[in-house]
């Protein structure tokens, strides 16, 4: 029986310090994930093309291309990809725009470390053999 392939997760966040903490958090929660990082919307699209991650954690406010536009492009290219959008912005229209672009979920960064791991578990993205459906 062949070994399971690790789940590839792309973390898109422009602030390196926050990205580092988020990577460390995810690595502790999900040690079998392969983590890829991007700091801009343009880099996110390039890394997505190169690595084809199954899961993307996408900041909304990014240099070059917004996280909302990057999400829209990723979902157009690979509809089965799960995108979790995140932002410090609390206005309802931000979450609505992210979800309209194809994000599966939206988390305010103030709640990220409390809500992210359970959300990943709930979405079924922790088991490479789990069936995945878009909402």
- State whether residue 15 is helix, strand or coil: coil
Q: What pLDDT was estimated at residue 118?
A: 94
Q: Average model confidence (pLDDT) for the chain?
A: 89
Q: How confident is the model at residue 3 (pLDDT cuts 50, 70, 90)?
A: low
Look at 47-56, 60-69, 83-92 and tell me which has the smallest mean pLDDT. 83-92
- State whether residue 76 is helix, strand or coil: helix
Please say whether the dihedral angle defined by the alpha carbons of residues 16, 17, 22 and 23, taken in this order, is positive or negative. Answer: positive
Domains in the chain, start-ordered, CATH in brackets?
Answer: 8-122 (3.40.50.2300)
Prediction pTM value: 0.88
- CB-CB contact of 102 with 71 (8 Å): yes
Distance of CA 84 to the CA centre of its chain: 4
Q: What pLDDT was estimated at residue 133?
A: 32
Percentage, residues of the chain above pLDDT 70 = 88
Tell me the Cα Rg of the chain.
14
pLDDT digits (tens, 9 = 90+) for 35-55: 999 999 999 999 999 999 999
């Amino acid at each position: 029986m062949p070994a399971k392939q690790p789940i590839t997760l792309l973390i898109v966040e422009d602030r390196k310090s926050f990205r580092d903490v988020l990577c460390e958090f995810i690595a502790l929660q999900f040690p079998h994930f392969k983590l890829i990082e991007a700091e801009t919307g343009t880099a996110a699209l390039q890394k997505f093309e190169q690595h084809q991650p199954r899961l993307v954690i996408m900041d909304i406010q990014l240099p070059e291309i917004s996280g909302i536009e990057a999400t829209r492009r990723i979902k157009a290219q690979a509809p089965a990809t799960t995108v979790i959008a995140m932002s410090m912005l609390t206005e309802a229209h931000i979450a609505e725009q992210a979800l309209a672009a194809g994000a599966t979920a939206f988390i305010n960064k103030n709640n990220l470390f409390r809500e992210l791991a359970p959300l990943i578990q709930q979405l079924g993205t922790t088991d490479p053999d789990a069936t995945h459906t878009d909402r």
